Structure 1
Amino acid sequence: MRTRSRLASPASLGAKLVLIMTAVGIVGALGITLLLASIITPSFGQLETNAIAGHVERTRAALTEFQAKVESAVRDYGDWTASYDYMASPGATFERESFSSLAMSNIGVHGMAYVAPDGRIVIARWRDPASGAERPAMRAALLATIAGTDLPRVLAGRNSGGFYARVGTSVAAIGVAQVRRSDGSGTPRGYVLMARVISSKQISDLLQLGARIDLGATGDDEVVTPGSRMLSIAVPMIGADGHAVAATRFSVPRDVSRLGRRMLMLAVAGSTILLLLVLIALRRLIEQLVLRPLHRVESHMQRVSASGSLGLLEEEKRSDEIGSLGRSFNTMLRQLKDLREQIEVQSFDLGRSESAVAVMHNVRNALNPISTILSQGIAQAPPIDRATIDRAIAELAQDDMPPARRRKLSAFVAAAVHAQDDDRQATRRELGVGREALAHVLDIIGQQQKAAHERPTLEVCDVTDIIARNATIARYSQGVSIAFSYPADTRHVMANRVILSQVIGNLFGNAAESIVARGGGTGTIAVALREEADRVTIEIRDDGEGFSPDTAATLFQRGFSTRAHKSGGLGLHWCANSMNAME
């Protein structure tokens, strides 16, 4: 479960690899799609173009074949001696036999005409193929078509020819032939024309698909109009002047292009699925071969961080980079274990050295008041000179001493005795302070001996009493006049009394040094106590020279001191460690 949650994290290596593989898959799918599209689409486009060309050619062939049949029929009438004689001398017998409905039905034409070389119409008929009746309107349309057609140009030196023409509202295939004898001899005596109407049904039957004749088309080239599913193709039906008179229009399904699109979609889908399967397989392989071993290393590092035990990682017998990583990691753990053992030995030696130095530092602070008291006692002169007192007593022993003089001497001796008594009381008080300081020194030494074997013992202490005792001692520490202020109410805390007293004494000593460094001979030290939940906070303020805020972060580091002329820097460092030891 943890591995999956890490894989889902955007910042994890697994998530990044998944994103990279997804991006590669998308780019690969797009690349494959473009590649297949560039290959399949043009190929099937060319196939569709070829299919269109085939439809056009087949339509042209059908139109040509339809026209050729009419031309073949008219050629039989043109190379016929009976027609040749008829053009020389038109007669009813030929017209009745050759222009009858049966004859026209047999040759499959709707209209016929004989035209003299000068363009004169010798005979023209248009009969309905079903009923055989004359159709004057279509005959007139045929005559108009003949009048507007340059027949010699149509033949172009040949014996016969053909074209398509608009006859009324219909389109007909027109066949033209010169009238000659059956053996082809003789000067042509005119032209014979035959017309066969072509309908949409006929062209559909010829093409085997749905087609229609578009009378509105005017272009001389085929027109292909593509649609989404169908292709509309228009093939021109060329007239006598070489221009289109109509067009055969039909629609064919775009089977080739649809097949191409389907093949493209299938190819893209297949390649995408294959690429997806490859990516899934790669992801599983990466997870098994890379991510899981890395997760094992990470989990082991977390266990080492949580427990502090530098146990070795269970190595996998692999010869690749992951196996090398595990071996290097275990080598690092062995080196760290050796270094930690060395540091522990060095820390033990350093701790003993620092502890001894800290004890000497605290002893020195505790002996400072004793030194000050002794120095003041030695340097202080007696309040009354002893020789003066002796002379006054000697004079008082004389019997002839005047009463006034005796009273003065008696008052002087009494004052001297009182002054000596006051001096003796002050000396006793100072010696009492010195005794307390000396007892404090003995407590420090005893506590150090006890701390060498066990952790400091905590007990209920009156922190106000400890502050008062240290304030009394601190007044004599630097030979300056220091005014102390602190709460008088009792505050009990759980602490080691001796260690807490040393910490407060150290802080008072530092405050006194700061006042001396400022100059002026006097100063104040104020102590405030603040209870917060289950703790008591002690705040000590002085009006000494202070320190720069930039040094606040290094105050409790070993060796740091704000006194450039002094060596050491163990006081605050020891205080911080001692307070932490009582947690």
Structure 2
Amino acid sequence: MRIVTKINLTLVAAVVLAAGSNFATMQATVLPIFYDLEEAASQRNQGRAEEAIASIESQVAQAAWLYASFDGIAAAARAGASASTAHAPKEDLLREMGIDHVALLDGDGRILFDHDLGEAGNAHLLSGASLPAAHPLRASQPGGVRSGLMSVGGALVAVGTAPVETSGPAAAGIGTVLLARSIDVSALSAMTKVKFRLEPASGAGTRPAFLRLPDAIEARKTLAGVDGQPVAELVTVTTRRNVGAGQTAIGWASGLMLVSMLVVLACLSVAIRLIAVRRIERMRAHLSGVAETGSLGPMTEDRGADELSDTIVSFNAMARQLAELRSELRQRDYRHGAADQAAGLLHNLRNAVSPIAAIAWALEARDKANWQATLTKVLAELERGDLDPARAAKLDGLLILCAREALKAGAGRQADLRTLQAMIGHVEEILREQDHLSQTDRQPEAVDVAEAVAQAVRRVAHRPGLVFDIRVFEAAEVLGYRVVFDQILDNLLVNAAQAIEATPRGTGRIAVEAVPGLHDGLAAVEIRVIDDGDGIAAGDVAGLFANGFSTRRERSGGLGLHWCANAVNAMGGSLSAQSSGPGEGATLRLVLPATNAQQRIAA
């Protein structure tokens, strides 16, 4: 991703984050004000509904006081039970005043009449024949004119009571007038412009007093009757408009802020591109050219007099220093490479020449065998010629034995000479390979693993006390350089032999196994050289293939495995070591790519 894209994305992210933060802040600080406004409106509406109901109660109470002052009502109260009629006095007037029920009690609480002034005319305000003295509707209760709420036939009514008024000494306690008016919710809602409803008081207190719905707010209040018990629940419904309007305003404000910030961002992006990005792109193009060509040419300096200009000046100074260092490093690398190559060549030649010296010592030992001295003495006696027949026959037998030993020694000498010839040829191959390497690029070839292992074992088999166990799967072939592969095997087997010789017993077993495997997802051959020698300490395994590292403190070197690791890596393989610790032996794993034919077989 280009830097200008990163800068623009960063700026866009900052703008979006700022806009989101501003939106969240307004939601957290401004929107609660609109919620409070809605709650206040709900409370006002509830108060208006309560005031409307209270107004009805007051009107009914005033009507009761007025009705109680009529002379006909006083006469009916005095008449007692004989006053019970099918119609109450002045019913038409009561209907004009909106009264739905009228009842009259005498001084003892007996119900003289209880009439429903509605069309049905079958509902009663009171139940039973009388009211007890403690009933709140009795005028004998303190307070005179009173009002309250009652439930009549499942409907809520406003009740007003007043003592019957008359003149004379018997005026007090002669009776009580009860008037009632149904609460017309629709009419009150239309009058107050407040939506509300009345619900039964059976669930009072079990539902929340304030309920916020998606489109409205419901406020509940329990209404108490004349007896102080819940008689109904007043539920006011206030449409939610403030929060929606607030959210819309916040959205518009945040959107306008985002648009303005994006405009500022666009201007800032153009300014950044003119001031920095174009110059950075020129620097990137120059560095890309350096990466492609390797030429450390200077960068064209500008006159910006800022950090980018200073960077260009510093780069040019660094390029000059790097050019000088490159020249010096090339000379050092050439010298070091030549030294490493020579050291590796000498190490491999030493491994190849060591068996030759051993065979030469064996040939010299054969020339000093006892049978040669015996043959010399026998020939000297036979040359004298004055031997008796018995002595001559004995000397003839010795002569025959010496001849047999001579023939046997000659055969051994021929075998040693053939082995010596093969080893000298191996040295010549190493030298030819080195000469070929110095002149041309090597091409990988198919190497027969079984044959290479067998030859490497023969070159090490002269060491005493070694037992070899070779297990190579059929037609095992690797793709590599045959002579280099032979040298790698020689190094691994020589190291295994030295590990065994370093043990107190001085003898041991070397196993060479070749099994199919995988390397980088492709078919490969894994060759394991396993010995039961003195093993490798855990702390030495990691540095085993480092240049100059050796577990043989008494010897100088440490070149063999380092050279092997580099050679294996050059052939596209890997070399690793594993050991359980000192005295537990070691396993060297050599993995090389299989030939194309084996790749097809594996596929």
Indicate the TM-score class for this superposition, using the shorter chain for normalisation.
Answer: 0.5 to 0.7
More off after superposition, 370-379 vs 170-179? 170-179
Aligned partners of 2:210, 2:351: CA distance in 1, in Å? 107
Shift of 1:366: 0.8
1:267 corresponds to: 246
Q: 2:493 and 2:183 mapped to 1: Cα distance? A: 126
The equivalent residue for 2:199 is none
CA deviation string 1:367-419 (max 9, x = no partner)? 11122233444566622487765554343233432112222233334444543
Determine if the alignment matches structure 1 residue 541 to structure 2 residue 530: yes
Equivalent positions of 1:1-150 (< 5 A) are: 31=28, 35-36=32-33, 39-48=36-45, 51=48, 54-55=51-52, 62=59, 111=72, 128=90
Unaligned stretches of 5+ residues in structure 2: 2-9, 94-101, 110-137, 149-156, 193-208, 212-216, 297-303, 573-603
Give the distance between the partners of 1:486 and 1:360, measured in 2 at CA.
28
1:527 aligns with 2:512: yes
Distance 1:355 1:210 in 2: 111
State which of 554, 564, 574 in structure 1 corresponds to 2:563: 574
- Which of 506, 510, 523 is equivalent to 2:495? 510
Superposed displacement of residue 499, structure 1? 1.0
Alpha-carbon contact 1:210-1:250 (below 8 Å) kept: no
Aligned partner letter, 2:353: L
Opposite residue 359 of structure 2, the aligned amino acid is: I
Give the aligned residue type for 1:482: L
Q: Which residue of structure 1 lines up, in the alignment, with residue 196 of structure 2?
A: none
**Using the alignment, how far apart are the partners of 2:441 and 2:421 within structure 1?**
28
Correspondence for 1:482 among 466, 480, 489: 466
Distance 1:140 1:363 in 2: 139
Looking at secondary structure, tell me which structure has more helix per residue.
Answer: 1
1:402 matched residue in structure 2? 388
Is the aligned partner of 1:435 residue 2:396? Answer: no
Partner residue in 1 for 2:236: 254
For the 8 Å contact 1:163–1:175, the answer to whether it is kept is: no
How far has the Cα of 1:45 moved from its partner? 4.8
Give 1:367's aligned residue. 353
Deviates more, 1:486-495 or 1:39-48: 486-495
1:473 and 2:459 correspond: yes
Once residues 279 and 350 of structure 1 are traced to their aligned partners in structure 2, the CA distance between those partners, rounded to angstroms, is: 64
What residue in structure 1 maps to residue 436 of structure 2?
450
Whether contact under 8 Å (1:475, 1:481) holds in the other structure is: no
- Letter in structure 1 aligned against 2:485: L
TM-score, reference length from structure 1? 0.55
For the structure 1 residues 517 and 57, does the alpha-carbon distance in structure 2 shift closer, same or farther, using more than 3 Å as the test?
same
Change (3 A) 1:340 1:519: farther
Deviation of 1:360 after TM superposition, in Å, equals 1.4
Tell me if the contact between 1:556 and 1:573 (Cα under 8 Å) persists in the aligned partners: yes
Whole-angstrom distance in 1 between the partners of 2:222 and 2:470: 112
User: Aligned equivalents of 1:202 and 1:422: distance in 2?
Assistant: 142
Residue identity in the other structure for 2:533:
G
Map 1:102-251 onto structure 2 (within 5 A): 111=72, 128=90, 200=181
The alpha-carbon distance between structure 1 residues 144 and 412, as it changes in their structure 2 partners (threshold 3 A), is closer
TM-score for the superposition, normalised by structure 2:
0.53
Which residue matches 1:221?
none
Amino acid aligned to 2:181:
S
Measured in 2, the distance between the counterparts of 1:369 and 1:571 equals 17
Indicate conservation of the 8 Å contact 1:25/1:276, yes or no: no
Q: Percent identity over the alignment?
A: 22
Letter in 2 for 1:517: A
Give how far 1:363 is off.
Answer: 0.9
CA contact (8 A) 1:470 1:504 kept: yes
Q: Which amino acid aligns with 2:450?
A: T
CA contact (8 A) 1:373 1:434 kept: yes
Partners of 2:378 and 2:103 lie apart in 1 by 186
Displacement of 1:269 in angstroms is: 6.1
Q: Over residues 170-209 of structure 1, what are the superposed CA-to-partner deviations in whole Å (9 max), with x where a residue is unaligned?
A: 9677796989xxxxxxxx9x99x9x9996739999x9897
Change (3 A) 1:65 1:128: closer
Comparing 539-548 with 395-404, greater Cα deviation is found at 539-548
Q: CA deviation at 1:485?
A: 4.7
Tell me, yes or no, if the aligned pair for 1:32 and 1:268 is still in contact at 8 Å: no
- C-alpha displacement at 1:528, in angstroms? 3.6
Equivalents in 1 of 2:448, 2:108: separation in Å?
A: 140
Does the 8 Å contact 1:383/1:420 carry over to 2? no
Equivalent-residue separation in structure 2 for 1:441 and 1:139 (angstroms): 139
How many aligned residue pairs are there?
A: 461
**For 1:53-73, what per-residue CA distance to the aligned partner results, in whole angstroms no more than 9, with x for missing partners?**
7547755775687689x59x9
Partner of 1:240: none
Q: Distance in 2 between matches of 1:455 and 1:406?
A: 71
Q: After TM superposition, give the deviation of residue 474 of structure 1 in Å.
A: 1.3
Q: Compare CA radii of gyration and give the structure with the larger one.
A: 1
Range with bigger deviation, 392-401 or 19-28: 19-28
Task: Structure 1 unaligned segments of length 5 or more: list them.
Answer: 2-12, 75-108, 132-137, 155-161, 180-187, 212-224, 237-243, 313-318
CA deviations over 1:512-568 (Å, ceiling 9, x no partner): 212211244544434344456964443333343343567555544444433232333
